[in-house]
Chains A and B, each alone.
Chain A
Amino acid sequence: DAGVIQSPRHEVTEMGQEVTLRCKPISGHNSLFWYRQTMMRGLELLIYFNNNVPIDDSGMPEDRFSAKMPNASFSTLKIQPSEPRDSAVYFCASSFGWANTEAFFGQGTRLTVV
């Protein structure tokens, strides 16, 4: 398996634009996580899905952020409108099982909003 695949790897956009980050989890994994990493706050969980259903989105910073998982092999994280403070590295991770399982991370998407 190729692992968790994220795209794009880098994204530079202007403030106010819509940004869509994409993630393909490892085949067979039924849990998917979106994380954000910044220098100030480190890694933070934004939202996670189990069997394509959002379980906890309490980490989503505000209504400008939304995430979907239309099927077991694809998820998106959308920011609309984007702001400079959204600049960060966004990681997607997947795992098999409900709890206490090893998570496999994608390479991340480095987002810069200017």
Chain B
Amino acid sequence: KNEVEQSPQNLTAQEGEFITINCSYSVGISALHWLQQHPGGGIVSLFMLSSGKKKHGRLIATINIQEKHSSLHITASHPRDSAVYICAVNLIQGAQKLVFGQGTRLTINP
């Protein structure tokens, strides 16, 4: 079983819909990251959080440490949000190392 599990693996939605991507982990972590990878391949860091909630524009990330779960929400989704979203965690042991989920491929249709 992977230490970091994401769901769903694939998600297709219509423009304007509210999107939720989930990440569950089974290990002790010191921080959790959400990354975005566009079809061109580049990876961009969206959020790093260790508690609570963060918001940037239409993106919101939450984490529940007790439940070992994080969610990434996208409000008013747009076709340009189409990308692979990757959850990654810093382990408590070896905190510099990132362990990655398999990613969620999001497609927003106009």
Contact = CB atoms under 8 A, between A and B. Distances in A.
Interface stretch (B10-18, B19-27, B38-46): B38-46
A43 B98 CA distance: 9
Nearest to A31: B96
B35 to A, nearest CB: 8
Nearest to A9: B41
Interface residues of B, number: 25
Interface in A84-113: 89, 91, 93, 98-105, 107-108, 110
B48 A100 contact: yes
Nearest to A100: B31
A111 to B, nearest CB: 13
Interface residues of A, number: 24
Interface of A: 31, 33, 42-45, 48, 50, 55-56, 89, 91, 93, 98-105, 107-108, 110
Contacts of B101: 42
Contacts of A42: 86, 100-103
Nearest to B44: A105
B43 to A, nearest CB: 4
Contacts of B48: 100-102
Interface in B21-78: 30-31, 33, 35, 40-45, 48, 50
